[in-house]
Structure 1
């Protein structure tokens, strides 16, 4: 029972840290262009193939 009283606040604290990190990344614009990264893989860079 004492381990539950010890681990529960730690788990809640880690969850709050993860939520804070998500909102920080959202505020910094990390998720603003989700389609650009998906389309970037399809662009053929011919300059890199022939040096």
Structure 2
């Protein structure tokens, strides 16, 4: 039963950290361009010509 008194504060700490990380990601525009990464896998990158 005493483990509950340890696990509840640890769980609350994890939730607080997750909320802080989520708001940091939103504030730093991590979710602005969601389509670019999804479509970048479909197209090849432009290859630079090699100097010979």
User: More helix per residue: 1 or 2?
Assistant: 1
- What 5-or-longer segments of structure 1 have no aligned partner? none
The runs of at least 4 consecutive aligned structure 1 residues that moved more than 3 Å come to none
What is the rounded CA distance, in whole Å, between the counterparts of 2:32 and 2:46 in structure 1?
28
Structure 1 length normalisation: TM-score? 0.80
Q: How many residues align?
A: 50
Structure 2 length normalisation: TM-score? 0.79
- What 5-or-longer segments of structure 2 have no aligned partner? none
